Structure 1
Amino acid sequence: MIKGVYARSPEQCAEAKKDFDGFIGNGETVLTARGIEGIEYNCEFVDWKKATRSIGAVATMLCEEPGYAYPEVYAFMPRAEGEIEVSSPLTSAASDNPGNAGVYYLCEGVKMP
C-alpha cells in the first residue's frame, strides 16, 4: 500500500523535493514503506494486517524518540489517488496534538537518501 515517500501536504512535498535534507532537518517526518521517519524520531512497522472487507490496514509500530521507545497502533486507509489517511486511537482523542495522524500525500520525485 505504501510505495514512495509521503508528506503531510502537497506544499511539504514541494519542500522535500527541493531540499530533502533541509526538510527533514527542520523536524519534519515522512511516511515510507519502512514507517514514519525523521531525524530524531521514527516509527518502524513491526506488524501489518490488511483488512479483509476494506482497502485499509492496521499496523503495529515501534516508535523511538531520543531516550525512549514505545508501541503505537495505526490505521492506514487509502483515500484519493496518492493519499493515505493515518489515524490512531491515541492521537485521535488528542485534538490539540494530532501526532502522526492525518492525510499524507505522495511526493512525486522524492526519494529517501
Structure 2
Amino acid sequence: MTFIVRDYRRLVPLGLSILAGLIALAAMRTEARAQDKQALASETFVIPADDGYGTEDCLGKDKTCGQVVASAWCEAHGMSEPIAFGPASDVTSATRSLKPVKLDPNSFIITCRE
C-alpha cells in the first residue's frame, strides 16, 4: 500500500508541470493571434500626386518630413500610426491590405494601423 501512495506523490508534480506547460502554450497562441489581428487591422490611402496639399514634397523619396506627414494623415483619418508610406511604386509590395488596382506611378500611399 505504501508503494501506491509513493507513486501518487511523484505523479502530482509531474501533472502540475504538464498543466503549467499547457497553460503557457495557450497563452503564447492567444498572443500570436492578437498580433496577427493587429497586423491585419490597417487601412491604405492612395494620394494623387497633384492633390494640391503638397504631400508629394514630403512623401517623395528620401524626405525626412515624410514620417510627420504620414502620421498627421493617419491621425486625421482616425487611425493610429503609419505602417508604410511613400511613392506608390516603392510601397505597394509592402502593403497587404491594398487591393490590386492600377495605380498612377506618381501617386503616393500611406498605410495606417487602426
> TM-score, normalised on structure 2?
0.21
Q: Which has the higher strand share?
A: 1
Larger gyration radius, structure 1 or structure 2: 2
Between structures 1 and 2, the one with greater helix share:
2
Larger relative contact order (Cα-Cα within 8 Å, sequence gap ≥ 6): 2
